[in-house]
Amino acid sequence: MTTPETYTSYIPLLAVLVSLAAVPLIILSSKYRNLREFWTIAASFIKFGLVLSLLPGALANKTAEISLIEIFPGIEMTLRADPFGVFFALIASGLWIFTSVYSIGYVRGANEHKQTRYFASFAVCLSATMGIAFSSNLLTFIIFYEILTIATYPLVIHKETKEAINGGRKYLIYTLTAGLFLIAASAWTYQLTGTLDFKAGGLFTEGILTPQTAVVLFFLFLGGVGVKAGIMPMHSWLPTAMVAPTPVSALLHAVAVVKSGVFAVIRVVGFVFGPAIMRQFGLNNILLVMAGFTIIVASLIALRQDNLKRRLAYSTVGHLSYIVMGAALLTPAGFAGGMMHIAFHATMKITLFFVAGAIYVNLHKNNISELKGIGRVMPWTMGAFTIGAIGLAGIPPINGFVSKWYLGLGSIESGNLVPLAILVVSGLLNAAYFFPIVHIAFFRKGNEKELEGKGEAPLFMVIPIVITAILSLLFGIYPDLFFKFYRLAINIAASIIGGGG
């Protein structure tokens, strides 16, 4: 690998600030919903354009950087758009466009209250997510990680029912406690190394860590990032948070919160500890066991859920650990497969949550057992669901097959075939909990009186559903299409392995 070239640029800062700047405009436009939603859409397109402008540099192994303030002597709040940060920022900013358009149809169709607060909170969440993507060190990362936690809370409790308040309280207890673990782990890392800067291949050199220190420090980091990554047993806040409106569920599962968690896992494994240290102290084996357990158990729990969003939530818990497992394999293909699954799972899962929301707005149904025959009145919506379901089961030509293929190669590269077996079993379980939904929708006769006169949900909802499903198909056929996710993932994986052995 060539030595990364760093250049000064304000673009990472602007990418963070653009949606933050939209917040006061959204609030001031509260009485004019078209104008209010214009600011949301405009900010999402500008943000994506800024991030996209960083892609050529990332592909050339160049890193845009801007130093903001010195927080402590020797520790600056710095934004650095390295290739991995650009990879994640592309996914989050791109899908925010679709989520924003979909949200307009959802909140109007469901006649949601406090829509201004909803859109303003969304904008803050995306600013925090960009900050997470472009954090150059652990301290900057923690700041934006905690901002994301707080900004998401109003979205989780949006309905303000007793169930929503309890879900929000549980979300805060889990995520704020995780933040304390992350702060403790980062402080200890600084005491040991004298730096908090992310470095491909890891910060720790040989002789710094004893076996006991390595294990305890790793568990502190795991407590910090594992909650948002949904690793069992730190996952239970996530299904509870499904009480939020469906676009928020899409944000949680595909765009921001949980993807920030698995992004953080890869940062910790590849850019803090590094492959050599992970392997030396057997830390990767700890992570492999936890990821494998989570994949299988979450899939089994998903089988028992009749509520559609809860089934999707447990599916997400399992699929997040595909990414964790990819990092734990410590091989080029494993890292690449895990990173590609961040992108490809996002397009598939956001499609499925969008479908759940369209069904709720259009037919007021939440449970799978109530979906008999809806494929006949909502063919575009349920067709998109079918594409996402096929992909999540790992069947070609949908993009989920590509990332799972590389995870399987990573398992073979590592000489450990247990993860490969877990992938196969998990694929079968995915089919077992998704395909019956497709069968019920298209091949079971529904209540004719209930479905009479019904059609698709509003276009603002159906168009994003169809586009994200098509993207899942296109990325399955050509993974490097548009945004070079494949090439970026391969390059990033090589830099981690090359930097840390």
Chain centroid offset of residue 188 CA: 27
Strands of the 5-8 sheet, one edge to the other: 5-8, 62-72, 75-81
Chain centroid offset of residue 367 CA: 25
Helix axes 308-329, 332-363, angle to 10 degrees: 170
pLDDT of amino acid 188: 97
Beta carbons within 8 Å of 32's beta carbon, 6+ residues apart: none
pLDDT of amino acid 3: 64
pLDDT of amino acid 85: 97
Cα-Cα-Cα-Cα dihedral sign, residues 169, 172, 174, 180:
negative
- Which residues make beta-bridge pairs with 124? none
Structure tokens at 252: 């949680």
pLDDT of amino acid 335: 97
Q: What is the dihedral of CA 143, 148, 475, 340, to 10 degrees?
A: 50
Mean pLDDT per 10-residue run, the chain (501 residues)? 80 97 96 94 97 97 93 87 97 93 88 89 94 96 95 90 92 94 96 94 91 97 95 89 80 78 96 96 97 97 95 94 97 97 95 94 93 95 97 96 97 96 97 97 88 89 96 96 95 88 48
pLDDT of amino acid 483: 93
pLDDT of amino acid 252: 67
- Which residues make beta-bridge pairs with 63? 6
CB 329 within 8 A of CB 410: yes
CB 396 within 8 A of CB 476: yes
